[in-house]
Amino acid sequence: MGACLSIAGPLPQQRALFFPDRAMPCRQALKGQPCRRKHCTYEHDASRSSLMQLLAVIGDATTTLDVCVFTITCNELADAIIAAAKRKVRVRVITDDIQATSQGSDVSELARTPGVTLRTDHQKEAHMHHKFALVDGTTLVNGSFNWTRAAVLTNYENVAITSGAPGLIGEYTREFERLWRAFA
């Protein structure tokens, strides 16, 4: 007989999201309400919207949300971060200092939001160019996806969502904490 393979703990759960989406999500659909528009051109079906699936992961945060991204110009993602803070989730955001003040950036709104703590890289020669988030310290969101409207609708982007992989998630957690201290 063959050897028995023993695995400690549950296997990691992973899924991939790919962009661009066909359309931005309908605001009513994001609220879980029926759309009243007769000919709405926005997306209503979460199974066909990578953004809606990403927003659901952020919406699942109950204790912590750590976001480390180059820029945030997608209002729906900024709204999801703000909603997490309103749910009393500890929210920390690290972003690029130059992008934080660029036209269309949602970073200044996040900085004014109670419950959101924000830091920037203070680097003129280099960019804080990471694109990852940690949800409750147990789920990793990472990939090529910039948190922008162009990434949602125009660019070919990817996001991997991983949970149940403490080694990998621990490495990203250590990187976030290292940057958080460095940019204090």
Measured CA to CA, the distance from residue 175 to residue 38 in angstroms comes to 47
Told to judge if 124 belongs to the known catalytic residues of this protein, a careful annotator would answer no
Query: Average pLDDT in the 106-112 region?
Result: 95
Residue 3 pLDDT grade (very low, low, confident, very high; cuts 50, 70, 90): low
b/e map of 127-147 (b: 16 or more CB within 10 Å)?
ebebbbbbbebebbbbbebbb
The answer to whether residues 34 and 102 touch, using CB atoms and an 8 Å cutoff, is no
Q: Which of 35, 98, 92, 36 is nearest to 71 (CA)?
A: 98
Please report the pLDDT score of residue 55 as a whole number: 98
Measured CA to CA, the distance from residue 45 to residue 15 in angstroms comes to 18
Say which of 44, 79, 97, 136 is annotated catalytic: 136
Determine which of 80-84, 97-101, 117-121, 135-139 has the lowest per-residue pLDDT on average. Answer: 97-101
Please report the pLDDT score of residue 124 as a whole number: 80
How many CA atoms within 13 Å lie on the side-chain side of 158?
4
Q: What is the pLDDT of residues 124-146, one digit of tens each?
A: 888 999 999 999 999 999 999 99
Told to judge if 131 belongs to the known catalytic residues of this protein, a careful annotator would answer yes
Measured CA to CA, the distance from residue 62 to residue 135 in angstroms comes to 8
Q: Which of 122, 71, 124, 126 is nearest to 93 (CA)?
A: 71
What single DSSP character describes residue 5?
Answer: P
The answer to whether residues 158 and 54 touch, using CB atoms and an 8 Å cutoff, is no
Residue 7 pLDDT grade (very low, low, confident, very high; cuts 50, 70, 90): low
Distance of CA 115 to the CA centre of its chain: 17
Please report the pLDDT score of residue 12 as a whole number: 84
Look up the CATH number of domain 13-33+46-182: 3.30.870.10
pTM comes to 0.91
Please report the pLDDT score of residue 5 as a whole number: 52
